[in-house]
C-alpha cells in the first residue's frame, strides 16, 4: 500500500491495495477482486502461488475425473453464443442411443473414473425427461451404484429435478453465464424462454432438492467488464455453490454474438483472465470443487493442466462417442474431436501428473464444501 502523508503521528495509507495483502485476506471486496483480476507480472504470479497453496492446503492435490457424455445436441433454446443453438441450421442434430451412452458410462466405470456427466441441449418434453430418468437408473445399475452422476440438461421444473435426484443423480451443473441481468440479456434473447429470473429459480430449486449445485460464467464475453467478473465471483460466494465450472467465451461463426468478435480481448487474453478467475475463486471459496473447463484447452493445448495447477481440481474427459463430437461444437476449435476415450484418458493421465497432481481414481470426489454445508443443516 502506498504511504501518502503523515498527520498527528499516524501514517495514513491511500491508494491501491497490494496484491500481496489481498491474497492473505479471507474476505474480499469487489475492489479487491478487480485488483486480482487485473494483476500482471509479479502480482499475477503472487496470485497464482497463493491460490495454488490454498488449493493444496484445503482440498489437496487430488484431481477428480468426470467422464463427459454429450448425449444430444438437440436444443429448444437460442443462446446467442452457442454453436448448437436451435436456429443454427448447419448443425446435424443427433441423439446418442441408450446403448451408446451406457457403453460410454461403462468405460468410465471400468476405468475407475468415479463419476460421469450427462450433458445435452435443453428440452423439457416428457419423452426427454423420462429418457434422462431411465438413463440415470441404468447407469446406477450397470455400475453397482458406484458411478456418481452429474446432470447438465438445462432448466427444468422443480419436480423434474426432484425426480432425477431420486433416481440417482446427485450433482447438477447449470451455469448462470453472467450474474449481471443486463449482460445476461445481451447474450440471450430477452424472452420468457431465456429468463434470468427463471435461471436463478432453477439454481435454488436444485439446492432444495439436495443436489450438489454447480454453476459458472463465461469469461471474456463482449460487453463484459472486469467489474462484472468480480461481481460474478461474489455472486458464486453468495449463492454458496458447491462446484464451479467457468471458462473463456470462444466465438462461433454461426451465432449472433459472432458479430461482436472485434470487441473481444485476444483468445490468449481471455485465457489468462479465466486463469485469474479460477485462482481468485479458489481464494474466495477454498473448499469447493472447481472444474478445469474444456474451453481452456481450445485456446492452450495444456490449458486445463495450467488451471489444475492454480486452483482447479476437477477435469471432464470427453467420453462422447467420436462420431457425434463434431456436432457438439459449442465454439470454434473445440478439442479432442477425434481422440477416442482410451487415448483421451492416457494423454490426460500423463498431463495431470506433469501438473503435479494425482488422480482420485474410483472416488466420487464430492465437494468438501457440500459436506460442510449439509452437515450444518
Alpha-carbon gap, residue 71 to 119, rounded angstroms: 6
DSSP category for residue 61: S
Taking the complex as a whole, the smallest distance from the CB of residue 174 to ligand SAM amounts, in Å, to 5
20 phi and psi angles, rounded to 5 deg = -55, -40
Residue 85 interaction partner, one of ligand SAM, ligand SF4, none, beta carbon < 5-8 Å per kind? ligand SF4
User: Shortest approach of ligand SF4 to residue 173 CB, angstroms?
Assistant: 11
Is residue 347 helix, strand or coil? helix
Instruction: Note whether 252 binds ligand SF4 by CB under 6 A.
Output: no
Q: What residues make contact with ligand SAM under the rule CB under 6 A?
A: 81-82, 119, 121-122, 152, 154, 174-175, 177, 218, 249-250, 252, 295, 330-331
215 interface partner picked from ligand SF4, ligand SAM, none, CB below 5 to 8 A per type: none
Told to check if 122 binds ligand SF4 by CB under 6 A, we report yes
CB of 73 to ligand SF4, least distance (A): 7
Cell numbers describing residue 342: 482410451
Query: Quick one: which of 54, 55, 66, 85 contacts ligand SF4 (CB under 6 A)?
Result: 85
The alpha carbons of the chain give a radius of gyration, in whole angstroms, of 21
Joined together, the cell numbers standing for residue 191 give 424472452
- Contact residue for ligand SF4 among 36, 37, 63, 75 (CB under 6 A): 75
Separation of alpha carbons 149 and 117, rounded Å: 6
Instruction: State which residue, 173 or 264, has the beta carbon closest to ligand SF4.
Output: 173
Q: Residue 249: CB partners within 8 Å, gap ≥ 6?
A: 81, 218, 219, 220, 221, 264, 270, 295, 331
Binding part of the chain for ligand SF4, among 49-57, 72-80, 263-271, 281-289 by CB under 6 A, reads 72-80
Cell, residue 97: 442411443
The set of residues, in sequence order, having a beta carbon less than 8 Å from that of 173 and lying 6+ positions away, is 117, 119, 150, 151, 152, 214, 215, 216, 243, 245
Q: Which segment (75-83, 196-204, 260-268, 273-281) binds ligand SF4 by CB under 6 A?
A: 75-83
Verify binding: residue 79, ligand SF4, rule CB under 6 A.
yes
Question: What single-letter DSSP state applies at residue 211?
Answer: P
Binding site for ligand SF4 (CB under 6 A): 75, 77, 79, 82, 84-85, 121-122, 154
Amino acid at each position: 500500500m502506498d504511504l501518502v502523508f503523515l498527520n498527528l503521528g499516524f501514517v495514513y495509507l491511500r491508494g491501491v491495495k497490494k496484491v500481496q495483502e489481498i491474497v492473505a485476506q479471507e474476505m474480499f471486496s469487489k475492489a479487491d477482486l478487480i485488483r486480482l483480476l487485473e494483476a500482471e507480472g509479479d502480482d499475477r504470479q503472487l496470485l497464482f502461488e497463493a491460490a495454488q497453496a490454498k488449493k493444496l492446503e484445503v482440498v489437496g492435490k487430488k484431481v477428480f475425473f468426470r467422464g463427459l457424455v454429450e448425449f444430444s445436441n438437440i436444443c429448444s433454446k437460442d443462446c446467442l453464443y452457442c454453436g448448437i443453438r436451435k436456429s443454427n441450421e448447419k448443425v446435424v442434430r443427433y441423439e446418442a442411443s441408450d446403448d451408446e451412452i451406457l457403453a460410454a458410462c461403462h468405460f468410465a466405470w471400468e476405468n475407475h473414473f468415479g463419476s460421469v456427466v450427462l450433458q445435452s441441449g435443453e428440452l423439457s418434453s416428457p419423452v426427454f425427461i423420462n429418457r434422462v430418468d431411465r438413463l440415470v437408473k441404468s447407469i446406477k445399475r450397470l455400475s453397482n451404484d458406484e458411478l456418481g452422476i452429474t446432470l447438465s440438461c438445462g432448466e427444468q421444473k422443480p419436480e423434474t429435478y426432484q425426480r432425477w435426484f431420486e433416481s440417482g443423480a446427485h450433482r447438477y451443473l447449470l451455469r448462470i453465464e453472467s450474474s449481471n441481468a443486463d449482460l445476461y440479456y445481451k447474450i440471450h434473447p430477452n424472452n420468457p424462454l431465456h429468463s434470468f429470473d427463471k435461471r436463478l429459480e432453477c439454481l435454488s430449486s436444485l439446492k432444495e432438492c439436495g443436489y450438489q449445485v454447480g454453476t459458472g460464467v463465461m469469461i471474456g464475453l463482449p460487453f463484459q467488464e472486469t467489474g462484472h467478473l468480480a461481481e460474478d465471483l461474489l455472486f458464486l460466494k453468495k449463492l454458496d455453490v458447491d462446484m464451479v465450472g467457468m471458462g473463456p467465451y470462444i466465438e462461433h461463426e454461426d451465432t449472433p454474438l459472432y458479430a461482436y468478435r472485434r470487441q473481444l480481448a485476444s483468445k490468449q487474453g481471455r485465457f489468462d483472465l479465466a486463469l485469474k478467475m479460477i485462482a481468485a475463486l479458489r481464494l474466495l471459496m477454498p473448499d469447493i470443487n472447481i472444474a478445469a473447463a474444456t474451453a481452456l484447452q481450445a485456446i492452450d493445448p495444456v490449458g486445463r493442466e495450467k488451471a489444475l495447477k492454480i486452483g482447479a481440481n476437477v477435469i471432464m474427459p470427453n467420453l462422447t462417442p467420436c462420431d457425434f463430437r463434431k456436432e457438439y461444437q459449442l465454439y470454434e476449435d473445440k478439442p479432442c474431436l477425434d481422440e477416442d476415450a482410451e487415448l483421451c484418458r492416457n494423454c490426460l493421465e500423463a498431463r495431470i501428473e506433469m501438473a503435479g497432481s494425482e488422480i482420485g481414481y474410483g472416488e466420487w470426489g464430492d465437494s468438501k464444501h457440500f459436506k460442510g454445508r449439509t452437515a450444518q443443516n
